[in-house]
């Protein structure tokens, strides 16, 4: 049989796959077939977890707001309802940050909501 050399495109493809799998353990960083399989899984998890991250952050904000609002004898849901009725349009991210770092400002918002 004649000798077949890998073409430029095949080498480039292999190099790109292995560079994306750099840092993976065992054969997944050095063997193309294993690297491809690992990348397929890694990319699907990355896609899913980008969505999950948003949910996790929102939950954390709710916990922070609730922890601070309990000092004013309110629950989280009642507080959010008060804000909506008074047309105070602050999102949960901002409220959580104020509750954690700017307690005086948060107290003022609670007073306005009541």
* Structure-token match 């999102």, residue found: 91
Do 79 and 110 contact (CB within 8 A), yes or no? yes
Axis crossing angle, helix 76-85 with helix 103-113, rounded to the nearest 10: 70
pTM above threshold 0.85: no
CA 85 to chain centre: 30
Q: Which domains does the chain have, with CATH numbers?
A: 8-113 (1.10.1900.20)
pLDDT by 10s per residue, the chain, length 114 = 888 777 888 899 999 999 999 999 999 999 999 999 999 999 999 999 999 999 999 999 999 999 999 999 999 999 999 999 999 899 999 999 999 999 999 999 999 998
């Amino acid at each position: 049989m004649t000798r077949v050399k890998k073409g430029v495109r095949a080498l480039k493809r292999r190099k790109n796959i292995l560079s994306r799998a750099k840092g993976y353990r065992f054969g997944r960083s050095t063997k193309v077939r294993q690297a491809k399989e690992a990348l397929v899984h890694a990319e699907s998890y990355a896609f899913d977890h980008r969505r999950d991250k948003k949910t996790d952050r929102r939950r954390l904000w709710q916990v922070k707001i609730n922890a601070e609002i309990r000092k004013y004898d309110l629950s989280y849901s009642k507080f959010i309802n008060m804000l909506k009725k008074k047309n105070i349009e602050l999102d949960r991210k901002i409220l959580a940050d104020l509750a954690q770092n700017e307690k005086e400002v948060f107290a003022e918002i609670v007073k306005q909501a009541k």
